């Protein structure tokens, strides 16, 4: 790799993990997202192009990136895994290098392999924006969650947050547990023992023991595709033992909020009637996802905040 190329790679604004960003950068993106929500938009990116490479199914992440791109006048270059040369055995790196070679300015990628981006950020001269990597991380979801919490409480310092459910398979939990602790929140985990993950560095609690003191109850989707639910317990049993029921929500403190990255398994992680409860921020999270991803794209493409 020559000196010019090395400099280009070093300056490329990848967005693959919040761990690589300072707290100042993270807070700047949160505040920027909220300014966009209020209508204070950055200069538009007419002529810039982005390809969205989704190797796993997605509704919210893919479509909110597409909406963010439209708000910023970024042209999406269509990419369909099923009709691409991936089906002929082309590697992810070669696919991305091809898109770089034809002039695409940034890549949004969701891939089932945790840490898929390590080779890409070393070799590509265009930004890689991580839309989720297996059971690794989901930094854009984490950013929109931070936007939602900050919009509600105007701080993270001292907030009590419980991340509840399928922790071992959750890239959302992994990203949020780390960044929320860095921002000064008190974070615990509530999970069946068989779905617990010690590597997140959380204290394990029972949901019923934290309902009255938590400011944020952050539920996680039971990831049926990554394990067999019936081998452990039924959906009804999970909801009764670990889900947010009508009885449990009544025990939450005043001003506390409910979050979930979605899609929601109704009457499993949360009673269906609570999804649009006054305490729920599940749909506002989705709204904030567009503005958070606008901030991510603005940073990646060299815009001004």
Residue 54's beta-bridge partner residues? 110
Residues 103 and 155 in one domain: no
Do 244 and 128 share a domain, yes or no?
A: no
Q: Which tokens belong to 197?
A: 């993950």
CATH code of the domain containing 256:
3.40.50.1370
For residue range 142-160, list pLDDT tens digits in order. 999 999 999 999 999 999 9
Distances in Å between the Cα of 24 and the Cα atoms of 21, 28, 69, 183 are 8, 6, 25, 10
Q: Are residues 192 and 178 in the same domain?
A: yes
Report pTM.
0.92
Contact in structure between 131 and 58 (CB atoms under 8 Å): yes
Check whether residue 244 and residue 146 sit in a common domain: yes
The span from the CA of 127 to the CA of 105, in Å, is 7
- Tokens standing for 60? 């919210």
pLDDT in tens, 195-225: 898 989 999 999 999 999 999 999 998 875 5
Mean pLDDT across the chain? 91
92, burial (CB in 10 Å: exposed 0-12, middle 13-18, buried 19+): middle
Return the ∠ at Cα 107 (arms to 102 and 108), rounded to 5°: 150
Structure tokens at 38: 């209020």
Domain count, the chain: 2
Would you state the structure tokens that stand for residue 281, as one six-digit string?
């921020």
pLDDT tens by residue, 110-122: 999 999 999 999 9
pLDDT of residue 231: 55
The percent of residues in the chain predicted with pLDDT above 90, rounded, is 78
Parent domain of 211: 140-282
Are 72 and 123 within one domain? Answer: yes
pLDDT at position 2 over 70? no
């Amino acid at each position: 790799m020559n000196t010019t190329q090395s400099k280009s790679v070093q300056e490329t604004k990848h967005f693959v993990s919040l761990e690589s960003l300072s707290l100042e950068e993270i807070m700047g993106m949160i505040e920027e997202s909220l300014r966009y929500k209020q209508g204070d938009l950055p200069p538009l990116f007419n002529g810039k192009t982005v390809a969205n490479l989704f190797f796993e199914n997605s509704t919210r992440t893919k479509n909110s990136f597409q909406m963010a791109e439209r708000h910023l006048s970024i042209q999406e270059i269509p990419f369909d895994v099923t009709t691409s040369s991936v089906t002929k055995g082309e590697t992810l790196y070669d696919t991305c290098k091809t898109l770089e070679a034809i002039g695409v300015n940034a890549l949004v990628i969701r891939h089932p392999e945790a840490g898929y981006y390590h080779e890409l950020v070393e070799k590509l001269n265009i930004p890689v924006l991580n839309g989720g990597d297996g059971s690794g991380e989901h930094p854009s979801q984490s950013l929109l969650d931070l936007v939602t919490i900050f919009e509600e409480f105007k701080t993270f310092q001292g907030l009590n947050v419980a991340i509840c459910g399928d922790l071992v398979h959750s890239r959302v939990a992994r990203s949020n547990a780390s960044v929320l602790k860095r921002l000064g929140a008190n974070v615990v985990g509530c999970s069946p023992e068989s779905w617990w993950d010690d590597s997140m560095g959380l204290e394990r609690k029972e949901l019923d023991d934290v309902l009255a003191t938590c400011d944020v109850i952050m539920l996680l989707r039971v990831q049926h595709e990554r394990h067999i639910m019936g081998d452990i317990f039924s959906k009804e049993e999970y909801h009764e033992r670990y889900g947010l029921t009508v009885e449990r929500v009544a025990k939450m403190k005043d001003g506390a909020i409910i979050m979930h990255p979605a899609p929601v398994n109704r009457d499993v992680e949360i009673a269906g009637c609570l999804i649009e409860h006054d305490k729920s921020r599940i749909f506002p999270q989705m709204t904030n996802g567009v503005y958070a991803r606008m901030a991510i794209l603005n940073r990646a493409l060299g815009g001004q905040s």
